[in-house]
Amino acid sequence: MFDKVYQSSVTMDDTPAIQTSDLTKLFGSLIAVDSINLEIKRGELFAFLGPNGAGKTTTINMLCCLLKPSGGSATIMGYDINQEPYQVKQIIGVSPQETTLSEHLNSMENLALVGHLHGVEQDKIYTWSKLMLDTMGLTDRAKDQVRKLSGGMKRRLSIAMALIHNPQIIFLDEPTLGLDPQARRAVWDYITRLKGNKTILLTTHYMEEADFLADRIGIIDDGRIAALGTSSELKTDAIDTHTMVIYAWNLTQKVILELRSRYEEVKISNGTMTISDKKLDFRDIIDRLHAAGSIVRSAYIREPTLEDVFLKITGKELRV
């Protein structure tokens, strides 16, 4: 039922779902968003990854026609955000960073309200609200005032409210902010169900979230897009060194010095050896350790993470 109702919004048009051209926002002398150029395809799940204050929410606010850009332009499904804000608002659904719900209305009433504001026909409101509650696992809490719901439930309801009118584009601003790992995983599952059916722009400062959910990722820092691509593209392009992690006993000073003479970086911490270099010879390292009398308990090549990519590109760690 969900797929039947909500699959229809991705059309086979070539127009990008979201397109920005030098999109800029200034707050006084502070450059919050600095000339962002972006093209998001229809049906794509695009993630903005960046620390707090990087400009993610400001960008979303401009695209949702809540903030007037200081410069540049943007279109949503071909509609100009400056010239046609009401057309834009017809086709988007937004789940803000805060769980912005009407606390004294119940889940059903919250959904129905947003549905009405988006112009959903009266006869569909009830059916679609029930469907969304079912999809988000909230059916048994339909009649509860939302102030009684847990943080995770509120977040799911918030996402449901962004979907109630079957929008073509969904903006999810930090959809799992403040949730425990279990609740976060549940929200990820719901978002995954939407993938391909909707164009989704998601902001997050959780790397694993962007890695798990996004088709493409834009790393944003100080208002600028520092890197853009799929998760593997970013890792491949940005990280040209490989890292091997070894847990071993009886590591001698001699073998450590020997490895340091052959590889770029060799670190020892709590019995764990980490070796990094552009070229790593897995067999050679293991053989040398065995020859030196070390007992290797485990060894593996560590995949680069988005954290490594972020560190490499921006020169700083991504702090939450």
Partner 1 sequence: MRFWQLFIRSLKETYRDPLALGFLLAFPLIFMLVFGAAFGSDTTPSYDIGIIDDDVTEVSQSFVDQAISEITIFELNVFDDIDTARDELKMGEISAYIVIPSGFSTQAAQIMQGMEGNIVLDITYDESEPMISEQIISSVNSATRYFAQIEIPVTINTNPINIGVNITQIDFISTGIIVFGLLIMIPTSGRIMLRDKESRFLYRMLTTPTKPWEYIAGYSLSMVLLATIQIFFFILLGWLFGMDIIGSLWLAFAVFLLTAICSIGIGMVVASLSKSENQGESLSWLFSMPLAILSGVWFSTEFMPPYMRTFADIFPFSHAVEASRAVITRGVGMEAISNDFIFLVGWAATVFIIGTMLFSRTMRS
Return residues touching partner 1 (CB under 8 A): 64-68, 86, 89-90, 92-94, 96, 98, 100-103, 114, 117-119, 161
Cα–Cα–Cα angle for 22, 23, 24, nearest 5°?
A: 105
Nearest to 51 by CA among 231, 219, 237: 219
165: helix, strand or coil: coil
The minimum distance between CB 94 and partner 1, in angstroms, equals 4
Query: What does the alpha-carbon distance between residue 80 and residue 311 come to, in Å, rounded to a whole number?
Result: 35
Query: What does the alpha-carbon distance between residue 136 and residue 157 come to, in Å, rounded to a whole number?
Result: 7
The minimum distance between CB 312 and partner 1, in angstroms, equals 35
The minimum distance between CB 85 and partner 1, in angstroms, equals 8
Nearer to partner 1, 60 or 179 (CB): 60
The minimum distance between CB 198 and partner 1, in angstroms, equals 16
**Number of Cβ within a 10 Å radius of residue 298:** 9
Nearer to partner 1, 63 or 179 (CB): 63
Query: What does the alpha-carbon distance between residue 175 and residue 154 come to, in Å, rounded to a whole number?
Result: 11
92: helix, strand or coil: strand
The minimum distance between CB 174 and partner 1, in angstroms, equals 13
Nearer to partner 1, 67 or 213 (CB): 67
Nearer to partner 1, 91 or 225 (CB): 91
Nearer to partner 1, 92 or 187 (CB): 92
CB 164 within 8 A of CB 93: yes
Cα–Cα–Cα angle for 163, 141, 190, nearest 5°?
A: 40
Query: What does the alpha-carbon distance between residue 275 and residue 96 come to, in Å, rounded to a whole number?
Result: 42
Cα-Cα-Cα-Cα dihedral sign, residues 281, 284, 290, 291: negative
Torsion of CA 314, 221, 39, 115, to 10 degrees: 140
Nearer to partner 1, 138 or 234 (CB): 138
Nearer to partner 1, 37 or 100 (CB): 100
Nearer to partner 1, 86 or 143 (CB): 86
The minimum distance between CB 221 and partner 1, in angstroms, equals 25
CB 216 within 8 A of CB 229: yes
Strand partners, 201: 46, 171
123: helix, strand or coil: helix
The minimum distance between CB 162 and partner 1, in angstroms, equals 8
The minimum distance between CB 283 and partner 1, in angstroms, equals 57
